[in-house]
């Protein structure tokens, strides 16, 4: 990546953490490309760094005599790193599917609340808001908590990019999340019902 592009990416991320409202105001007229590239780059970096951290734990465990347990837990033993990196394209595809799909759900929700702007604005709100999660989630044990900050950023992004009030922006973000949770509950119940006679 060119030095100038790297510097621009760093400045964007810094502003996203320090002043979300200003950040989303600045990128209001952008297309979808910059948001997409930022999302993919930070996701890939998080996957690689996260894998290195995970493999370091495996190495430490093997040196302490727990290699058999770790190999059994991960199921691949020494070949796990290679298999993991081979599957990264699949993870990228799933991450993109989620981002585009979630942005679509938010866009429909925004339209229900009479927000302005198109799907591109919804995608920018989602893609840029997931960037901090991609970065912070690599921290073992506590990184997943960053999803709450990303939800906050999504709300700020939706409010700014779609010209909604704070209350409507919160509702526009929460409705798709509640819908996804409801679908998850239904799926789990269907699986339990399907396997009720197995156990």
Of residues 113 and 81, which shows the higher confidence score? 113
**Count helices and strands in the chain by DSSP H and E runs:** 9, 0
What residues contact residue 119 under an 8 Å CB cut-off, 6+ apart? Answer: 103, 104, 107
Average of per-residue pLDDT values in the chain = 83
So where are the chain's domains?
A: 3-194
**Percentage of residues of the chain with pLDDT beyond 90:** 49
In this predicted structure, the answer to whether residue 78 has a pLDDT above a threshold of 50 is no
For 149, residues 6+ apart whose C-beta sits below 8 A from its C-beta are: 132, 133, 136
Looking at the predicted structure, is the pLDDT value of residue 8 above 90?
no
pLDDT at 54 over 90: no
Burial zone of 156 (CB within 10 Å; 0-12 exposed, 13-18 middle, 19+ buried): buried
pTM of this prediction?
0.79
For residue 197 the two structure tokens come to 């006679």
Would you place residue 59 in the very low, low, confident or very high pLDDT band (cuts 50, 70, 90)?
Answer: low
pLDDT in the model for residue 76: 45
CA 123/CA 118 separation, integer angstroms: 9
């Amino acid at each position: 990546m060119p030095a100038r592009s790297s510097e621009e990416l760093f400045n964007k991320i810094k502003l996203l953490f320090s002043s979300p409202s200003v950040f989303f105001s600045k990128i209001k007229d952008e297309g979808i490309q910059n948001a997409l590239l930022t999302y993919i780059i930070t996701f890939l970096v998080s996957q690689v760094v996260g894998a290195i951290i995970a493999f370091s734990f495996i190495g430490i465990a093997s040196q302490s005599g727990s290699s058999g347990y770790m190999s059994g837990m991960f199921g691949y033993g020494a070949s796990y790193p290679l298999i993991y990196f081979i599957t990264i394209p699949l993870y990228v595809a799933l991450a993109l599917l989620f981002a585009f799909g979630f942005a679509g759900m938010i866009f429909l929700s925004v339209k229900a609340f009479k927000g302005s702007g198109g799907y591109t604005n919804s995608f920018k709100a989602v893609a840029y808001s997931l960037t901090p999660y991609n970065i912070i989630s690599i921290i073992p044990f506590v990184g997943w908590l960053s999803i709450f900050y990303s939800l906050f950023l999504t709300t700020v992004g939706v409010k700014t990019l779609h010209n909604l009030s704070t209350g409507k922006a919160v509702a526009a973000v929460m409705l798709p999340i509640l819908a996804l949770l409801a679908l998850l509950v239904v799926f789990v119940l269907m699986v339990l019902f399907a396997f009720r006679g197995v156990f």
